[in-house]
Amino acid sequence: MAPRRRPRAGGMALAVLRFLLIVATTYLGLIAVTFFIGRVVPIDPVLAVLGDRAPASVVERTRIEMGLDLPLYQQFFRYVKAAVTGDFGVSVLTTNPVMTDIRRVFPATIELATLGTLIGAAIGIPAGVLAAVKRGSLVDQIVRIVGLVGYSVPIYWLALLSLVLFYAQLKWVAFPGRIDIAYEYTFTSTTGFYLIDSMWQGRWDVFRDVFRHIVLPASLLGYFSLAYISRMTRNFMLNELSQEYIVAARARGLSEARIVWGHALRNASVPLITVIALSYAGLLEGSVLTETVFAWPGLGLYVTNSLQNADMNAVLGGTVVIGAVFVGINLLSDLLYRTLDPRTRAT
């Protein structure tokens, strides 16, 4: 038995090594892209710090202190070394270290994207299953049209319309923002996740207020997540329902509900994990417009404000973090897919 285990252990070690190499190469490429973007953008980082009226001597001294007088390859190595340790410099806008700002605002983005993904998955998966089971019917057409609209309509336009309807006219939701000013100085968040902290502290008045602020932007993100998840669920289910084991299950007299929800959906759930993970990553990196319209104090709004104020340290730091999270979720979903599906382990 021992000689058979060694090749398997060696293969697993090689797979882990290859996975780590892919991760390192991907992150290095991401850092390189952000570095060169920072050098291509026609914004002088020295003038962004000192202003246009700073004396020439001060500008030159600051340029040397920031290492901008060095050759480009040396600047790149210094940038990589700092970025690996999480040092993206100091924000011109807030005068705080960029990573300190990111730790402060990123939980708001995570909370918004998580709730949006939960909404999208909770509605999108059943809708996709029903569309596949009733292929060609009115239900199928409605699900496909809803998904098409979700792909086609710009999110900022839909966000503005929803504010006019649900806030200005119906008064169902709260004013844009994350929490009412009445609670902003009386509620202390320990984790950065307001919904969790308010429940943990028993502050149900704060929880209701936070929920009234988050429900509309999260529903919009959930709608766009729903469009993607429902379409992919429909495709996966159509593929599973055409398999021979479904014919055999029907021949054994199993109920249609058990065949669909107990067999076909269970087999389709493996690739669905990847779809939901990609949708979640997309909401984390793509909620910039939503956060801007709803004044949601997350990473997207932070990067937008930094870009408008020529704060390139904050812009590049936020870009690296968002890209790193997106790549990490992609790699994790791929690893989960290979773990749950035995057919992919040999590849």
List, as one string, the DSSP characters of 280-312.
HHHHHHH-HHHHHHTT--SHHHHHHHHHHTT-H
User: What does the pLDDT read at residue 201?
Assistant: 92
Architecture of the 98-344 domain: Orthogonal Bundle (1.10)
Q: What percent of the chain has pLDDT over 70?
A: 93
Q: Which amino acid makes up residue 137?
A: S
pLDDT of 197 over the 90 cut: yes
pLDDT of 64 over the 90 cut: no
User: What does the pLDDT read at residue 115?
Assistant: 94
User: What does the pLDDT read at residue 10?
Assistant: 63
pLDDT of 124 over the 90 cut: yes
- Tens digit of each residue's pLDDT (9 = 90 or more) over 275-300: 998 889 888 876 788 888 899 999 98
CB burial of residue 117 (10 Å; 0-12, 13-18, 19+): buried
- CATH 1.10.3720.10 spans which residues of the chain? 98-344
Question: Among 135, 20, 38, which residue's Cα sits nearest to residue 79?
Answer: 38
Q: How far apart are CA 41 and CA 30, in angstroms?
A: 17
Contact criterion met (CB below 8 Å) for 67 and 75 = yes
> Facing residues of 90 across strands?
97
